[in-house]
Amino acid sequence: MHLTDRQAKIIEQARSVGRVLVEDLASQFTVTPQTIRKDLNDLCDAQLLTRIHGGATFPRGTENMRYEARRQIAAGEKQAIGAAAAAAIPDGASLFINIGTTTEAVGEALAGHRDLMVITNNINVANTLRLIDEIEVIIAGGVVRQSDGGIVGEAAVDFIRQFKVDYAVIGASAIDADGALLDYDFREVKVAQAIIANARHVILVADSNKFQRTAPVRIAQLSQVHTFVTDRCESEAIHALCRQSGVTLVEAASGLRAQEEAEI
């Protein structure tokens, strides 16, 4: 489904606090309860929220949102993150890009680069970059996940292990306060771990919503990456972890705000 701006905000609010109520949302958005009920019914039909009496809840920590909905949430922030991460990758580099809506934003931002070798298990990234003459795209083999075009499984892991590249761009579905990077699919995690192990410089890209989420499978620790690009980080614990581990923290929201102000 295509999310309206109000529906996207309802999902973000449900993710943040766990549940939303019809009457509260109607007051917040200055619309009728019937309008909110229709929004919630549509979101629940799409399995983005779970209906309860008088409102809806966000799915449990073992469940991920549908891919198209994830692409639309925090889209501006992901674009800013993508641009900031791409700026850290020089022309002439080799790199991995793994599965995720934020890593796809990095792929889009790399379109102006020259002489890149991009190895990916993300069909969407491959489709974005394959038409650019200055970029060589190599795609992993394995099981294609229908939900998002990600290639997972042992064949993809074995393929990744053949390379040693300059950079890796990875995402995460959730980030714990202790620096644990988490995801939902253990098959995808195995590929991400192989990517981390075979790159000289690892760039983590994740929007700030990931600090409020949880997922059951551990990818790695924040200390295992070299650069962390997010839109904003208000967690002092994460700031402290980055300082202690020598991780460069880039907050891209300042550039996004400046762009928005210039457009007004």
Residue 227 lies in a domain: yes
Mean pLDDT of the chain: 89
pLDDT tens digits, one per residue of 148-201: 889 999 999 999 999 999 999 999 999 999 999 999 889 899 999 999 999 999
* Residue 14: C-alpha distances to residues 17, 216, 228 (Å): 5, 19, 26
pLDDT the model gives residue 98: 95
pLDDT the model gives residue 212: 77
- From CA 232, how far away is CA 249, in angstroms rounded? 10
Tell me: do 161 and 41 sit in the same domain.
no
pLDDT tier for residue 68 given thresholds of 50, 70 and 90: low
pLDDT tens digits, one per residue of 101-111: 999 999 999 99
Per-residue pLDDT, averaged over 122-129, amounts to: 94
Tell me: do 119 and 183 sit in the same domain.
yes
Residue 106 lies in a domain: yes
Q: Write the CATH number for 220.
A: 3.40.50.1360
Residue 251 lies in a domain: yes
Residue 66 lies in a domain: no
Residue 64 lies in a domain: no
Domain count, the chain: 2
Tell me: do 236 and 170 sit in the same domain.
yes
Tell me: do 21 and 133 sit in the same domain.
no
Tell me: do 51 and 159 sit in the same domain.
no
Per-residue pLDDT, averaged over 78-88, amounts to: 96
Q: The domain containing residue 232 runs over which residues?
A: 74-263
Tell me: do 216 and 251 sit in the same domain.
yes
Tell me: do 90 and 185 sit in the same domain.
yes
Structure tokens at 93: 């580099």
